[in-house]
Amino acid sequence: MVKLDRYIGSSVFMAILAVLGIILGLASLFAFIDEMGSLSDTYTWRDVLSFVVLTAPRRVYDMLPMAGLIGCLIGLGSLASSSELTIMRAAGVSIGRIVWAVMKPMLLLMLIGVLVGEYVAPATESKAQAAKALAQGSGDAQSSRNGLWHRQGDEFIHINAVQPNGVLYGVTRYHFDSERHMLSSSFAKRANFDKDKWQLTDVTTTYFRGDHTEVINVPEEGWDVALSPNLLSTVVMVPEALSISGLWSYIHYLADQGLANGRYWLAFWVKVLQPLVTAALVLMAISFIFGPLRSVTLGQRVFTGVLVGFTFRIAQDLLGPSSLVFGFPPLLAVVVPAAICAVAGVWLLRRAG
């Protein structure tokens, strides 16, 4: 039985890796083409290639559920096409035993996915975003296309480029009073984090004093803001690219600032529950092999896997923003599609048994 489990598991595992490689290649190609639209004198095709390579771990992590679904259909389906599953069932191997044989390598794959999503993808994504922002130019003025916005209290901050070593380029600050009247605006070419505080360099500040303005230039100025380099590396990335721990910290930071954090809660639950989502999709794929896809061709299985995978992804993409608009818990947006897949898989397996 151990050899049989290993045979089934290895067949499915290799199929999943093959599917993951194909999907990753296509996604990377599309990302490269998309980034080519941002080419400039400073952001060259080499920078684009570097960006695509560094963001590849995030794509691997995002595509694991889809790869698990299609790979399981192909790997287990090939065993069904060659009548090997029929022979196993005739020899007394239960469906539950086959399901467990498939799930064992999936547990390893899910563990690798969690490690990639928690440690590898956030680090490479941070480097990619920092290098892209710097290549597109720190600038001597605020960039309307690039950079990031942040708010702390009555101060609105725009940063052209964030480097992971605690260096900022192009820091623009707008300070308002309680009635949203602008009191001052300033631009610093550079900011360095040293000894638990920020030091701005080459600062130009414009004060709005009723009917006139006053411009002051200083070579250096301290900046009292509750933004550490670690927190800034979190802000610069999209929520889906952050680690679970990074999301947890930033969610509570936003709550302390009185800012909306629903999108980050949604990304948090997507990452926390991704292993369960992957298991639900694989379970449904197994049920298809023993049910409606038992005697179809490989092409039909791939088509079905792609169709189900995209339907699941669209359902998640619709429910996620809906939770932010209509105010229901983001956890439901993640759990409901996975629960439907799991229930459908169990129901089909019971019918097959």
DSSP secondary structure letters along 163-187 = ETTTEEEEEEEEEE-TT--EEEEEE
Query: What pLDDT is recorded for position 59?
Result: 93
Residue count of the chain, please give it: 353
Rank 20-29, 138-147, 335-344 by mean pLDDT and report only the highest: 20-29
**Average pLDDT of 125-136?**
82
Q: Are 234 and 241 in contact (CB under 8 A)?
A: no
Top pLDDT among 60 and 169 is at 60
Does the structure show a pLDDT above 60 at 242? Answer: yes
The residue type of 46 is R
**Average pLDDT of 156-173?**
83
> How confident is the prediction for the chain on average, in pLDDT?
85
Report the percent of the chain where pLDDT is more than 90.
20
Query: What pLDDT is recorded for position 347?
Result: 87
Nearest one of 32, 57, 50, 199 to 135, comparing CA atoms: 50
pLDDT tens track for 301-350: 778 878 888 888 888 888 888 888 888 888 998 899 899 988 988 888 88
Instruction: State the sign of the Cα–Cα–Cα–Cα dihedral 176, 177, 181, 186.
Output: negative
Q: Is 147 left (phi over 0), alpha (psi -120 to 50) or beta?
A: left
Global model pTM greater than 0.75: yes
Query: What pLDDT is recorded for position 86?
Result: 79
Residue 273: pLDDT band with limits 50, 70, 90: very high
